[in-house]
Amino acid sequence: MKKTVFIGLDGATFAVLDRMMEEGVMPFLKEFSANGSRAELHSTSNPLTPPAWISLVTGKGPGDHGIFDFLRPEEKGGGIVMKLNDSKDIKSETVWSIASRQGKRIASLNFYGMSPAQPVSGYLVSGFIPWKHLKRATYPQEFYETMKSLDGVDIKSLGFHLEQEKKCFQGGKMDHAESLAWIRSHIDRERNWFKILSHIMQNAPCDLTAVVFDGVDKLQHLFWPYIFGELACSTVVTPEQKEIRELCLDYYRAIDRYISEAVAMAGPGARVFIASDHGFGTTEEIFYLNKWLHDHGVLEWSEPNNIAEPGKLTEGRISSHTGVIDFNKTLAYCWTPSSNGIYIRRSIDGGPGVKPEEYEGFREGIRKGLLEYVDPGTGRRPVKSVLTREEAFPGRYSHLAPDLTVLMDDGGMVSILNSDKTLKKRDEPAGCHRLEGVFIAGGEGIKKGFSADAFSIEDVAPCLLYSLGLPVPEDMQGRVPSAVFEDDYLRTCPIRVEGRTLGADCSRDEALDSADSSAVMSQLRMLGYIE
């Protein structure tokens, strides 16, 4: 069976990639796309990194793998505390495990949520963690020493460092020098991940080799106007703005080189798949969801007259929220901007919360009220839809999801802070997640010059298993996107659907210490996922 390579581009959208290809920034990707197949890849109902990447590697929706956000709320001492999700919270088997137990060697690099690292046949190094926890996030652990010994690899750059992030981001804004340093740090970070990818492909080749380049998402969050907005098109920009714009383009040029070299190392006949966890687009508004809940009598602030500013909460208040919301008097609340979700407190044994017999009516009242909200300034309704947990995240673990998921008309994330107004215009347009991600495929058995209808992100794991010559488990929601494969290949190698995934080990492991939890929180706040 030929080698299979998967390259993840976190947050990639054809709106940006097509422009980069046409302007000559990504010439290899343009050629690869023209000689292969492409399609939009639809993300999870709330297009967010954790549920989306975990859906991609499990072939199941969040309701069946149990990950809905970076954080999960837990009741403690009458209040609510934040807990960071990790690999022990994933309640479904991953493609890494499925392939490993069927005799395939895999390499998984920089995927969200894979720490602490679980055993595989090959190599696994998790992404989105503090660098000093990288050894804990690596399997086998001796591969950590191998990575450290590679020429030119800076092991610290593979994770993130709290002090480095703080230097680059103070009070929500970066000056010109800090902006340049931050972009360069992500160019360098991707270079380090590529060096590790190259080492594996050249010295310990695997049947399935996969890597995520996540700077795409980070640059688009912080520099969207330079990548897609007015500063990407206008000729009336300052020299400093041009410098930032050009450095952003250098990042995409580097990614194009890495894709080109990975395809070359994979060799003739290999199949290469490129996909993102979600897309990206422009958002111009901020909807203060907790203020709306407060105005409708179901949320109480602990400091009613405290109008907070984004980026101004301390790590301690972020981690507990007790400094913002009075949970003793609150029936419904939004936990994080990234979730766009409302949790309803249910009464247990007569305690505080909504009584079981009143839950459906209470939830429907909030849903209907949000849909009917009218912006007093424009007369339009900014809330596009409000999904119940059963609609947004059907499955065995639907009960862990937010009771309601709010999707805004302009695709933005809500704010959890207090405000003098429910809806405000942003100071400047920003980049935010969209449902429509990317899927590109090339190599043996893939149609050439073909554009397919949109696929689901849950289809990627079955696609990778099929490419490896393995059956697709019956309990995966995703299905092989057969439209991108040549008819002759499908006849020669028919799709098999048989067996089931194994249960995941959901036992808890030692959590990150408070300093490292703060590092993760700082990174999430920087990107706008928490406030």
Compute the average pLDDT of residues 18-43. 98
Half-sphere exposure of 369 (CA within 13 A, CB side): 15
**Minimum mean pLDDT range among 165-179, 337-351, 428-442:** 165-179
Quick one: pLDDT at residue 523? 56
Quick one: pLDDT at residue 476? 97
Quick one: pLDDT at residue 513? 53
- Answer whether residue 313 shows pLDDT above 90: no
Structural domain that includes position 28 = 4-56+85-156+169-282+432-480
DSSP per-residue letters across 272-307: EEEE-S-EEEEEEEEEBHHHHHHHTTS--BSSTT--
Give residue 350's identity as a one-letter amino acid code: G
Q: Is the peptide bond before 337 cis (omega within 30 degrees of 0)?
A: no
In a domain, 499, yes or no: no
The CATH number assigned to the domain holding 148 equals 3.40.720.10
In a domain, 530, yes or no: no
Work out how many domains the chain is built from and give that number. Answer: 1
* Contact between 36 and 242 (Cβ < 8 Å): no
* Contact between 61 and 394 (Cβ < 8 Å): yes
In a domain, 524, yes or no: no
**Minimum mean pLDDT range among 212-226, 232-246, 491-505:** 232-246
- Exposure letters 501-511 (e unless 16+ CB within 10 A, then b): beebeeeeeee
In a domain, 237, yes or no: yes
Quick one: pLDDT at residue 284? 93
- Answer whether residue 526 shows pLDDT above 70: no
Quick one: pLDDT at residue 423? 96
Higher pLDDT, 509 or 17: 17
In a domain, 258, yes or no: yes
Q: What is the pLDDT of residues 342-401, one digit of tens each?
A: 999 998 888 889 999 999 999 999 999 999 999 998 999 999 999 999 999 999 999 999
In a domain, 402, yes or no: no
Q: What is the share, in percent, of the chain residues with pLDDT greater than 90?
A: 75
In a domain, 178, yes or no: yes
Quick one: pLDDT at residue 525? 56
Torsion of CA 279, 280, 285, 287, to 10 degrees: 30
- Answer whether residue 235 shows pLDDT above 80: no
In a domain, 15, yes or no: yes
Read off φ and ψ for residue 511, nearest 5 degrees: -80, 165
